[in-house]
Amino acid sequence: MDHGADANRTDLMTITRFVLNEQSKHPESRGDFTILLNHIVLGCKFVCSSVNKAGLAKLIGLAGETNVQGEEQKKLDVLSNEVFMKALKSSGRTCVLVSEEEEEATIVEPALRGKYCVVFDPLDGSSNIDCGVSIGTIFGIYALKDVHEPTIEDVLLPGKNMVAAGYCMYGSSCTLVLSTGAGVNGFTLDPSLGEFILTHPDIKIPKQGKIYSVNEGNAKNWDGPTAAYVKKCKFPEDGSSPKSLRYIGSMVADIHRTLLYGGIFLYPADKKNPNGKLRILYEVFPMSFLMEQAGGQAFTGKERALDLVPNKLHDRSPIVLGSYDDVEEIKALYAAEGKAQ
């Protein structure tokens, strides 16, 4: 592999160079994935720039619903969806697109079709937009195995069948984290170059962490194992220190921190929401794929998250993601509850 990028930042490992290097390990590859990824990267840059301007756009639009040019302002999540839909279709490499923003799947017109199916949440954590908290785009990619008329069945598949997954976080910096099934790498947008540069090579989540991340406001409705686990985090009985609580409420930001610092993120089932809140195809699967590739685990309370098979495009599932040992601990609590019943 080309490890040539140096610390003096004169020989930069851009995301395109990185993926081309990966591609060269597969001589049969025709570069389709690299082209698809370039279009996803373009979408991320566009959304990043729109998110950065959002506060300003709002200010100059205050007089009414229109901005100074008299154009109607689109909500950022609607705009992001349009950007990704257009970028993915025009790549000529996709056939089925599933977006959080759209009820139905889009089957790409035959002239623009390729073998990849992309499931994505164009702007996750959108309740955080107006207060400037980090938000992000999440995506997962499946590949058709043979040439056939694409249908939604091509994405109603277990997460372990994905060929790649990632997210782009629009925060104090813009960071794209990607796995093509051979580890996890993080790239940070250099705004002066307009390029994503490899800044977090081969991300490995610590085996155990000191942070737990969950919406404690739902505690009254939690299932037994979640309540028992969080109690252990706060009042450990084995002499260890209590864990710290960090919850941003924006999945991309919470998972990014969990990947880098270790710990556990939970969006469990509760009495009101037996399937939790997070969507299987474009939230649970991509994040579970990344977590496993980084050495962590992803568990639904019943099974390995990547073994789930969604019945419908927007199905939800409870999810626990994070450091290997921390997830092992909560799995043991679920197993004990199963035996007690």
Instruction: Describe the crossing of helices 224-234 and 324-340 by its angle, rounded to 10 degrees.
Output: 130
Would you call 267 helix, strand, or coil by DSSP? strand
Output 205 or 253, the one with its CB closest to ligand FDP. 253
Position among 79, 95, 278, 280 found at the interface with ligand FDP (CB under 6 A): 278
- Least separation in angstroms between CB 230 and ligand FDP: 14
- Least separation in angstroms between CB 287 and ligand FDP: 10
Closest by alpha carbon to 141, among 104, 115, 103, 122? Answer: 115
- Verify binding: residue 127, ligand FDP, rule CB under 6 A: yes
Interface characters, 180-219, with ligand FDP (x: CB under 6 A): -----------------------------------x----
- Verify binding: residue 290, ligand FDP, rule CB under 6 A: no
- Verify binding: residue 263, ligand FDP, rule CB under 6 A: no
- Least separation in angstroms between CB 254 and ligand FDP: 6
Long-range contacts of 315-318, Cβ-Cβ distance < 8 Å, separation of 24 or more:
315/275, 315/279, 315/280, 315/281, 316/273, 316/275, 316/276, 316/277, 316/278, 316/279, 316/280, 316/284, 317/275, 317/276, 317/278, 317/280, 317/284, 318/267, 318/268, 318/269, 318/275, 318/276
- Least separation in angstroms between CB 163 and ligand FDP: 24
The size of the interface with ligand FDP (CB under 6 A), counted in residues, is 13
- Verify binding: residue 124, ligand FDP, rule CB under 6 A: yes
Sequence-distant (6+) residues with CB within 8 A of 170 are 47, 48, 51, 52, 134, 135, 136, 137
Judged by CB under 6 A, which stretch of 39-47, 65-73, 244-252, 321-329 contacts ligand FDP? 244-252
- Verify binding: residue 277, ligand FDP, rule CB under 6 A: yes
Would you call 337 helix, strand, or coil by DSSP? helix
Sequence-distant (6+) residues with CB within 8 A of 119 are 97, 98, 99, 139, 140, 141, 142, 155, 281, 282, 285, 286
Output 91 or 258, the one with its CB closest to ligand FDP. 258
Closest by alpha carbon to 169, among 139, 127, 203? Answer: 139
Position among 81, 250, 297, 300 found at the interface with ligand FDP (CB under 6 A): 250
Output 94 or 250, the one with its CB closest to ligand FDP. 250
Output 116 or 267, the one with its CB closest to ligand FDP. 267
Position among 43, 114, 122, 125 found at the interface with ligand FDP (CB under 6 A): 125
Distance CA(272)–CA(190), nearest Å, equals 43
- Least separation in angstroms between CB 124 and ligand FDP: 5
Question: Site residues (CB under 6 A) for ligand FDP?
Answer: 124-128, 215, 249-251, 254, 277-278, 283
